[in-house]
Amino acid sequence: MAISRRQFFLQATAAYAALHSIKANALSTALAETGLKDLYKDDFYLGTAIGASKLKAGSPDFLKLVSREFNAITMENDMKWERVNPTPGQWEWDLPDKFMAFGEQHEMYRLGHVLVWHSQVPSWVFENGKGKPASRKELLARMKNHINTLAGRYAGQMNAWDVVNEAVDEDKGWRKSPWFNIIGEDFMDYAFNFAHETDPKAHLLYNDYNMQNPAKREFVVDYIRKAKKRGVPIQGIGLQGHVGLGFPDIKEFEASIEAYAAEGMRVHVTEFDVDVLPVAWEFMGAEISTNFEYSDELNPYAKGMPAAIEQQLNDRYVEFFKLFLKHRDKIERITLWGTGDGESWKNDFPVIGRTNYPLLFDREYKRKACYNAVAALKQG
């Protein structure tokens, strides 16, 4: 029996909707058993940072989520000098060992963070035992011993190390840290050489924030070129990727990916999150609960994100992940700096007590709309 054009259109629309629903349900079922790492397995490693509290608690649900969604992990704080080697000769291996065991159990890419940094380092490292600055010789010996002990413990097991972290001071050149002031600008060369000697198989990175800054990019590229001529085994660059809804200019971020890759570096986006709150540097260190005058201004989403802001968050994640996919041939790994919103450092920085929503999972570790948006990029 012949049907009208309208009936044909309605039936075709219904059939399309049914097919779309079947595909959506199939994707939902697949993601319930797998995760983002499986969708992006042919593009780059997808990772998260794990904090001490999660490793101490050993929550089966949390660890199951991490192993389902990610195939790369970074230790958030407990391989930093003040945690792992707080006093001379004292080494705290419990949490780093748990981190390594978890990664090995699930065959995950393991990133050690960090061997040489100016922050979160005990004061004794830079002193001579009499309260005076250590000599160049003393500090180089401590650097070597630290790298040999920490990287040496996991040699052959750690896939990559952030060898040096945040050594460049925006457009001012080298950060005038104790490492630079005591050893000189060749402290970076020494760190990379010590790390390579200790674990020749590990992939060695320089990691920093604001790496899309043109002046910083130019300085780092210049260092890479000169260091490679000196035989320094620098192999990758970590772009920390702490971005906001309106910053940075994604074109500059892309220019940095291209510039570092052009120097033979594998690119890692090492600490990605998206800040949805107003910029608040002028209130740095403040406690908003005791300053009612600006609490509403600086903590506007204490009870949840408005729909319009959530859409901006989704769009920003999609914008960056499209960029990452575009340059998948240059990118080794994308790591989120945390798993759920409740554990993010962005809740307390630079102003204590704010409520932020920068990650792919909410405070109950449920997938957010931005997770679905990132997953949808790989549905086809």
197 is catalytic: no
Ranges of beta strands (E only) in 83-198 are 109-117, 160-165
Name all contacts of 152-157 with Cβ < 8 Å and 24+ positions apart.
152/198, 152/199, 153/93, 153/96, 154/96, 154/100, 154/110, 154/112, 154/199, 155/198, 155/199, 155/201, 155/202, 156/199, 156/201, 157/100, 157/104, 157/110
Local structure of residue 345 (DSSP, 8 states): G
Rg (CA), the chain: 23
CB 330 within 8 A of CB 257: yes
Say how far apart CA 220 and CA 173 lie, in whole Å.
9
CA distance 280 to 124: 33
- Interatomic CA distance for residues 47 and 338, integer angstroms: 9
- Give CA–CA dist 365/339, Å, rounded: 8
Which candidate in 69, 271, 332, 343 is catalytic? 271
Q: How far apart are CA 81 and CA 116, in angstroms?
A: 8
Q: Name 327's Cβ contacts closer than 8 Å, sequence gap at least 6.
A: 254, 257, 258, 261, 267
Q: How far apart are CA 199 and CA 34, in angstroms?
A: 33
Catalytic residue selected from 33, 92, 107, 166 = 166
**Residue 278 and residue 321 in contact, taking contact as beta carbons nearer than 8 Å:** no
Task: Report residue 298: phi and psi, to 5°.
Answer: -95, -15
> Within a 10 A sphere around the Cβ of 109, how many other Cβ atoms?
22
Q: Known catalytic residue: 254?
A: no
Tell me which H or E stretch contains 143.
helix 136-153
Point out the residues that are catalytic. Answer: 166, 271
